[in-house]
Chains A and B, each alone.
Chain A
Amino acid sequence: MPGPTNRKQKRLDYRQAQKENGTTNMPKKKFYRQRAHANPFSDHRLTYPTRPEDMDWSTFFPAFVADAQANELPETTESTEALEKLPPKKLTKEVEVVDIGCGFGGLLVALSPVMPDTLLLGMEIRSQVSEFVQDRIKALRIKDPEQKQYQNIGCLRANTMKFLPNFFRKAQLSKIFICFPDPHFKQRKHKARIVSTTLNSEYAYVLKPGGIVYTITDVEDLHKWMVQHLEAHPSFERISEEEQEADACVGVMRTETEEGKKVERNKGPKFIALFRRLEDPPW
């Protein structure tokens, strides 16, 4: 078995090769492995915009940049000063669908053709995994001879529990997917769960009235937890099973995430619940 240094070296070599040959090949997961859990409370070396207006989406969705000449500009890693100086390039549309904790990006890739005219964004806290999804999207885009497919999906590294309002305006989103989140079994860790009364208020903030939160998990207890917390929240109501099964996204969510496939292989159960964002009461 290769030692850790060996593995690291291989990983570096692989990344270098990926960069040089223009990422025509699909990335291999084994070079992007990372432990499954990340502490949402600690300070990761994250990059996030100060305000949603400051976010430069053009590198994520180059096909949707409003300004025609924008594509000619060299792609540089923007320094924070640059961000402050130049207003970011505008897109023709805004991100409307977010996959929180997108993992290796299975749902994004599967939803891309289902909603070709909507911008979908995966957000993942693990740096290696988010890089994998970015490389995967790059490779998928290149593979398409017409360069049309997979232009509407993107992925970035973020801690959504802390920084969701840095990326999105109030009522910007129409769908939020929360697929197979970290169950945080221990009572002491429940605050780290992605669904909680206080976080639901933030999901309600970024969702437009009528927007939907999709949840799926293989942990029954967590399912109950998510249902209870979202149902108890005054900004959300649960969507009936009938309507749920009629939603095209539900089928995709059930079968296309990496974690969903793993549960399938292990013949485990899957629990699904959808919630609609209600209008705020008069104030």
Chain B
Amino acid sequence: MSVPFQCLCRLGQSSILCAAKGTSIHTFGLGAGSSHLSSWTHPLTKQDGTSDPQATSQDGNLNEQDSEQPPSKKRRLNSDEKPNEEGKANQGETGAVEAPESGNGKKKNKKQKPESRAQPSELPFVILLRATEDGSHLVAVTGQDKTLWVLEHDGNGVLKELSRRVMPKRPSAISITADGESILSADKFGDVYALPLIPSAAPEAADTPPTPSDAPATTTATSASKPAASRFTVHSKRNIRALEEQERMIASGKVVPKENPKFEHEPILGHVSMLTALATASSADGRPYIITADRDEHIRVSRGALPQAHVVERFCLGHGSFLNALCVPASRPEVLVSGGGDDELFLWDWMAGRLVGKADVLGRIRKVVPDASKVAVSHIYSYDAEERCYVVVICELVPAIFIFQLQQDTLEHAQTLDLAGNPLDATVVAKTEGSLRLAVAVDPLQSAESVAEAQGSAQSLLLFERDEAGSWVRPEGVPDVASEDLGLTREELENILYPVEKLRKTEFEDDAEGGGSARDSVAP
């Protein structure tokens, strides 16, 4: 089945739009009419049936260092495997029944044993796209193989792959620093890394920056030569046996320390919770800050320059559910808009850590989806038009886009833009001097009869124009580009395109431990 566009990005101030569709990235010129300019495809999916990423990489002009990179893990894209996967997908979640046998029935065990993972394998979809301020470089993240790609843009829509870096964990949010020199990458493990946009020519292979959690430990040789436990610290029969086993393994020299990626990536800060959003901002006096948000309702403001990024300036606390999106409008840098699993958007004075106001989203959603009961904000963006600042909000599985106007201390609803499918991403692109267009990536509804009459019908990439009143109107489809069949079922595709609601906490690993008690309160 064909896949929709899922990520959009504007290339600098130009009228060139960058759109990711499945594992490919396409550029479109929107100046006069809209035309497809060029495309880049993840090397793994470029040619079906090949599994060697080097053999198929674009242009064949990879840097030398690229070939030194470890190949992406867990690639299962061989054509002969696909039917198999589809079969699994039909079983859906029932496949999980097999899992407990490989562990203690805990979710985490899946990670260690990718082979026994019952979930269908995922394609390396582009999950994040960011361009530098001037539009000269594009950073893309493909999720399944945890890879961060940097593409160079020639100003006319042509993309050239510069580097690929496989991160230690799947990036969940990226940002480019104001100077355009570094990429900040936040991951599911809670760490934020700073990477140079252009990797230094000679990577220091020997002395790679380790991950934050085990930073100084790797410098001590002792940890590798003897187990961390000793007879004093383990007492049970099983633990003693495990210790003996460890000692044997070390004696036989079979223990290979885990290798860190061989490129410059400096851990700068981290949460224990899963990071879901990242923003950079500057205070009125020009000092940079990094704002991070996690699944456990925290928004943290840290100093944004490297030697001091460990200093946590404050937290913005008030959310009651997971966070998923942050936005600091360019024209109102003192304001932070945040959203996630809560019914409202939160408006912050982030420098003071003060909640300024909230804007209802669930009520707005109910006017589109009457029986909606919860909100999962997937994106928040801002744009300026006629000296006013607007915020664009996309909620997962809601076929509309909500536009709010940012007033002094409030967010006023300005427009609900109904769509013929669920929006996956949006961005505002300059058309000509002063005139803006809103590009929206839509996952067309599958079986609704309303499709035909709805705006834009089954188009996946829509462009709206602004009318005099400032509303987005007159959608126009961008001619779709043909994409090869990625062999995904609808269910697998939805799994990839709609990840936000899964962040909500529903299962608790608890109280099988003997609690289950009436006192769920912290009070004694």
User: Which A residues are closer than 8 A to B by beta carbons?
Assistant: 8, 11, 15, 33-35, 39-45, 47-48, 50-52, 56, 59-60, 75, 77-78, 126-128, 131, 134, 137-138, 154-158, 161-163, 165-166, 170, 183, 185, 187-188, 190-191, 193, 196-202, 204-205, 218-222, 224-225, 228-229, 232-235, 263, 266, 268-269, 280-281, 283
Known: A161-B272, A197-B270, A222-B228. A191 touches B514 (CB 8 A): no
Chain A residues with CB under 8 Å of B523's CB are 56, 59-60, 75, 77-78
Whether B190 and A198, one on each chain, are in contact in the complex, defined by CB atoms closer than 8 angstroms, is yes
Docked CA distance A282–B507 (Å): 44
A199 to B233, CA, bound (A): 24
* B522 cross-chain contacts in A, Cβ below 8 A: 47-48, 156-158
Q: Quote the shortest CB–CB distance from A178 to chain B (angstroms).
A: 15
Known contacts A47-B520, A154-B524, A191-B189; A204/B310 CB under 8 A: yes
Return the chain A residue nearest B223 by Cβ.
A221
CB neighbours (8 Å) of A48 from chain B are: 522
* Cβ contact within 8 Å between B509 and A197: no
CA distance A213 to B223 in the complex (A): 24
- 1/0 per position for B118-138, CB-CB distance to A under 8 A? 000000000000000000000
Q: Which of A59, A155, A187, A266 has the most CB of B within 10 A?
A: A187
Subset of 7 A-B contacts with CB under 8 Å: A8-B514, A39-B509, A158-B522, A221-B222, A221-B229, A224-B220, A283-B287
Q: Which residues of B contact A155 (CB under 8 A)?
A: 524
**Cβ of A232: which chain B residues have Cβ within 8 Å of it?**
215-216
Q: Which 9 A-B pairs have the closest CB atoms?
A: A198-B270, A268-B232, A228-B216, A221-B228, A134-B524, A42-B509, A205-B312, A191-B213, A51-B317
Could you tell me if A198 and B212 are in contact, using CB atoms closer than 8 angstroms?
A: yes
Which of B190, B220, B320 meets A50, CB within 8 Å?
B320
Q: Per a CB cutoff under 8 Å, which of A33, A41, A193, A202 touches B312? A: A202
Residues of chain A within 8 A (CB-CB) of B312 are 170, 201-202, 204-205
Whether the pair B513, A35 counts as a contact (CB closer than 8 A) is: yes
Q: Cβ of A131 and Cβ of B519 under 8 Å apart?
A: yes
Chain B contacts with A in 223-279, Cβ cutoff 8 A: 223, 227-230, 232-233, 235, 257-258, 267, 269-273
Does B510 count as interface, using CB distance less than 8 angstroms? yes
Residues of A within 8 A of B468 (CB): none
How many residues of chain B are within 8 Å of chain A by beta carbon?
66
C-alpha spacing A268/B228, complex, angstroms: 15
Measured between beta carbons, the chain B residues less than 8 angstroms from A200 are 310
B308 within 8 A of A: yes
- In the complex the two chains form, is B273's CB within 8 Å of A281's CB? no
Residues of B within 8 A of A187 (CB): 214, 257-258
Please give 16 more A-B residue pairs, beta carbons under 8 A apart, in addition to A201-B270, A219-B229: A35-B513, A50-B297, A56-B523, A77-B523, A78-B523, A127-B515, A163-B296, A185-B229, A197-B215, A198-B190, A198-B267, A202-B312, A204-B311, A219-B233, A220-B230, A281-B311
State how many angstroms separate the Cβ of B463 from the closest Cβ of chain A: 41
Q: How far is the CB of B34 from chain A (nearest CB, A)?
A: 45
* Across-interface contacts of B509 in A (CB, < 8 A): 39, 42-44
Q: Which of A40, A127, A202, A269 contacts B513 (CB 8 A)?
A: A127
CB neighbors of A among B306-331 (8 A): 307-308, 310-312, 314-315, 317-320
Which of A197, A219, A235, A281 is the most central at the interface, judged by chain B CB atoms within 10 Å of its CB? A197
B198 lies within 8 A of chain A by Cβ: no
**How many pairs of A and B residues are in contact by the CB < 8 Å rule?**
179
Residues of B close to A234: CB separation below 8 A:
307-308, 310
The answer to whether B515 and A39 have CB atoms under 8 Å apart is no
Within the complex, what minimum Cβ distance (angstroms) separates B301 from chain A?
Answer: 11
A219 and B230 contact, CB distance less than 8 A: yes
Contact A51 B318 (CB under 8 A): yes
Please determine whether B232 and A266 come into contact, CB atoms closer than 8 angstroms: yes
Contact pattern, B 189-226, Cβ under 8 Å of A = 1, otherwise 0: 11100000000000000000000111111011011000
CB distance from A116 to the nearest CB of B (A): 20
Asked if B521 is an interface residue, CB under 8 A from chain A, the answer is yes
The reply to whether the CB of B74 lies closer than 8 angstroms to some CB of chain A is: no
Q: In the complex, how many angstroms separate the beta carbon of A97 from the nearest chain B beta carbon?
A: 18
The answer, yes or no, to whether B170 is at the interface (CB within 8 Å) is no
Choose among A11, A77, A202 the residue that contacts B514 (Cβ–Cβ < 8 A).
A11
- Confirm or deny: B505 has a beta carbon within 8 angstroms of a beta carbon on chain A: yes
Q: Do B310 and A235 touch across chains, with their CB atoms under 8 A apart?
A: yes
User: How far is the CB of A190 from the nearest CB of chain B, in Å?
Assistant: 5
Contact present for A77 and B232 (CB under 8 Å): no
The reply to whether A50 and B318 contact each other, CB–CB distance below 8 Å, is yes
Contact of A190 among B108, B217, B270 (CB under 8 A): B217
Residue of B nearest to A46 (CB): B522
Determine if B42 is an interface residue (Cβ-Cβ < 8 Å): no
Q: Which residue of B lies closest to A52 (CB)?
A: B317
Query: Of B190, B303, B505, which one neighbours A43 at CB under 8 angstroms?
Result: B505
Asked whether, in the complex, the Cβ of A283 is within 8 Å of the Cβ of B228, the reply is: no
Assembled-state Cα–Cα distance A198/B315 (Å): 15
Q: Give min CB distance, A75 to chain B, whole Å.
A: 8
The interface residues of chain A lying within 8 Å CB-to-CB of B213 are 190-191, 193, 196-198
- B303 pairs with A268, CB closer than 8 A: no
Docked complex Cα distance between A166 and B522 (Å) = 13
A75-B524 Cα distance, complex, nearest whole Å: 10
Which residues from chain A contact B287 at a C-beta distance below 8 Å?
A: 283
B179 cross-chain contacts in A, Cβ below 8 A: none
A280 CB, min distance to chain B CBs, angstroms: 5
- Please, how many angstroms separate the alpha-carbon atoms of A216 and B509 in the complex? 29
Contacts of B189 in A (CB 8 A): 191
Chain A: CB-nearest residue to B226: A221
Shortest beta-carbon distance from B287 to chain A in Å:
6
| Residue of A whose beta carbon sits closest to that of B192 | A198
| CB <8 Å contact, A263 and B318 | no
Please give me the residue from chain A that is nearest to B239 by CB atom: A185
A contact residues around B107 at 8 Å (CB): 42
Q: How far is the CA of A137 from the CA of B273 in the complex (A)?
A: 31
